[in-house]
Amino acid sequence: MSTLKNKFVEKAVPAAADFKKLLKEYGSTEIGKVTIESVLDGMKGIPALLCLTSKLDSQEGIRFRGYSIPELQDKLPKLSPTDEPLPEGLFYLMLLGDLPTDADVKEIGEEWKKRAIVPKHVYDVIDALPLDSAPMADFTAAILALATGSEFLKAYSAGVNKKDYWDSTYEDCMNLIAQLPVIAAYIYRKHYFNGSQIAADPSLDWSANLAHMMGYDDAEIQKLFRLYLTIHADHEGGNVSAHATHLVASALSNPYYAYGAGMLGLAGPLHGYANQEVIAWVNDMIGEIGTSTPSKQQIHDFCEKTIAAGRVIPGYGHAVLRKTDPRFEAQREFAGKYCQNDSFIQIINDLYEIVPPILGGLGKVKNPWPNVDAYSGSLLMHYGITQAPFYTVLFGVSRALGVLASILWDRALGMQIERPSSFTMEWFKEKAGI
Ligand code: HAX
């Protein structure tokens, strides 16, 4: 058994006992108020899920096992002091709750390299889709095709004891994380480079290898990928991709199906697709105004026009956050360090000044501040990765780290099927006294 798996089982056994005790002895303790608004407005704020890997605070943003993004940048292992943290280390932290050493991170990286084997039929599935298929559709189709190798499916069919579900789930999660960069890069090269593929470089870390297989070997791009794949990894349990993954896994679907479901949610414009919408929208702005260096007044007018047309400004707003997303800040800092004199990034920076007062002035937008998606595409554009329809796939590769660590915990704790209750409109009206 690998060191990571050993360490996980050492933590999981007592945690499962605690979980069962909490449920059995304190099950009737009330933990929150449910109102008509909290249900009919998207279940926001209802304390309804357990998530060990990260917690989102409306004012402060995300903390991964208690650590903010700047703290992760300081404390997680890096390849050099000026580099960004390695996502391998964040996975270790999210899974075990402890900060990894350099050796821990190295071991995970080596294990993922060994597991990065994608069967031929998965490439055939990707190739069978036409070039006008969205990269996220290719990605989810490939993930489902990978499920033929599911160790959980095999173990379940062989009648494994439910207390051991976590074991084969662990194998699937580790295999899937290892396979994702390979299929993501394959999809990228299929769509944008006539299918000319680039082999993995086993000397590289998980992030740099993804960049390499996509065709990018610049040291700054490698740093950007390490940052990108770290900050997109998790956003507690209630966001659409994490919740969909958890929900589907709760029916004992295998990790490939569960994560595939999460990715179909990530592909929605109000979630991860927003990272491509920002680029499309700014390009529309540039096209309409007729210059790549619009004035602040021109940007302002375009924003007003977008709102007047009954559209949202992509990259702004959030269902939980009420301040600027620290993931936006981390990327802005990266741009400040490495991406000077870029007119597209200048527009993104100008929007940060212009959009919040406009949204705030509408009087209905709960959070007028930017989220992660407002910045991410512009950084990729800066390094020549201009194919915006692919951006949500990159987000998805990173999100695997959090949602798969979470469903592994779901299995280890022996969590039950998720099944909230629904009610009719008459029931709600009766409750309202109408
Ligand atoms: N532009 C214009 N109007 C906005 C807005 C924006 N960026 N954000 C919210 N609003 C509007 C809503 O559409 C809603 O209008 P109606 O009452 O007329 O329907 C009103 O303000 C109240 O919405 P809210 O309560 O503030 O926001 P929600 O919690 O319902 O939704 C969203 C949160 C992120 C979906 C929303 O802010 C939005 O649509 N933003 C733009 C899309 C986006 O950036 N999505 C990515 C979010 C982060 C993420 O998940 N990344 O993957």
pLDDT digits (tens, 9 = 90+) for 175-231: 999 999 999 999 999 999 999 999 999 999 999 999 999 999 999 999 999 999 999
Distance CA 11, CA 4 (A): 11
pLDDT digits (tens, 9 = 90+) for 285-332: 999 999 999 999 999 999 999 999 999 999 999 999 999 999 999 999
- Taking the CA of residue 319 as reference, the ligand 1 atom at the shortest distance is 29
Is the pLDDT at 430 greater than 90? The verdict is: yes
Q: Are strands 61-64 and 54-57 parallel, antiparallel or unpaired?
A: antiparallel
Residues annotated as catalytic (active site), given as ranges:
271, 318, 373
Which residue, by CA, sits nearest to atom 46 of ligand 1? 271
pLDDT digits (tens, 9 = 90+) for 358-369: 999 999 999 999
What are the pocket residues of ligand 1 if the criterion is a CB atom closer than 6 Å to any ligand atom? 239, 270-272, 274, 307, 312-319, 359, 364-367, 371-373
Q: Mapping DSSP to helix (H, G, I), strand (E, B) and coil, where does residue 316 land?
A: strand
Domains of the chain by start residue, with CATH: 3-96 (no CATH), 116-268 (1.10.580.10), 274-382 (1.10.230.10)
Q: Say which residues have a Cβ less than 8 Å from residue 76's Cβ, sequence separation at least 6.
A: 85, 86, 89, 90, 93, 99, 100, 105, 230
Rounded alpha-carbon distances, angstroms, from residue 129 to 137, 141, 152, 261: 9, 9, 27, 19
How large a percentage of the chain has pLDDT more than 70? 100
Mutate to test the pocket of ligand 1, among 366, 369, 372, 403 (most ligand atoms within 8 A of CB): 366
Nearest to 53 by CA among 241, 186, 207: 241
- Taking the CA of residue 395 as reference, the ligand 1 atom at the shortest distance is 52
pLDDT of residue 74: 98
Which residue, by CA, sits nearest to atom 29 of ligand 1? 319
Q: Residue holding tokens 């802005």?
A: 332
Looking at residue 408, what DSSP letter applies?
H
pLDDT of residue 47: 95
Which residue, by CA, sits nearest to atom 39 of ligand 1? 270
- 77-84, long-range: CB within 8 Å, 24+ apart, which pairs? 77/101, 77/102, 77/104, 77/105, 78/226, 79/205, 83/223, 83/226, 84/223, 84/224, 84/226, 84/227, 84/230, 84/334
pLDDT of residue 121: 98
pTM for this prediction: 0.98
Is the pLDDT at 1 greater than 90? The verdict is: no
pLDDT digits (tens, 9 = 90+) for 45-71: 999 999 999 999 999 999 999 999 999
pLDDT digits (tens, 9 = 90+) for 244-254: 999 999 999 99
Question: pLDDT-derived band of residue 256, with 50, 70 and 90 as boundaries?
Answer: very high
- Taking the CA of residue 266 as reference, the ligand 1 atom at the shortest distance is 52
Ligand 1: centre distance to CA 279 (Å): 17
Mutate to test the pocket of ligand 1, among 275, 348, 364 (most ligand atoms within 8 A of CB): 364
Which residue, by CA, sits nearest to atom 4 of ligand 1? 312
Which residue, by CA, sits nearest to atom 12 of ligand 1? 365
Mutate to test the pocket of ligand 1, among 318, 348, 369, 375 (most ligand atoms within 8 A of CB): 318
DSSP of 51-96: -SSEEEETTTEEEETTB-HHHHHHHS--SSTTSPPPHHHHHHHHHH
Ligand 1: centre distance to CA 231 (Å): 21
Which residue, by CA, sits nearest to atom 18 of ligand 1? 364
Ligand 1: centre distance to CA 312 (Å): 7
- pLDDT, mean of residues 123-147: 98
Q: Count of CB atoms within 10 A of residue 260's CB?
A: 25
pLDDT of residue 37: 96
Distance CA 208, CA 181 (A): 10
Ligand 1: centre distance to CA 334 (Å): 26
Distance CA 267, CA 201 (A): 29
Whole-number average pLDDT of the chain:
98
- Taking the CA of residue 325 as reference, the ligand 1 atom at the shortest distance is 48
Distance CA 296, CA 357 (A): 13
- pLDDT, mean of residues 89-108: 98
pLDDT digits (tens, 9 = 90+) for 384-400: 999 999 999 999 999 99
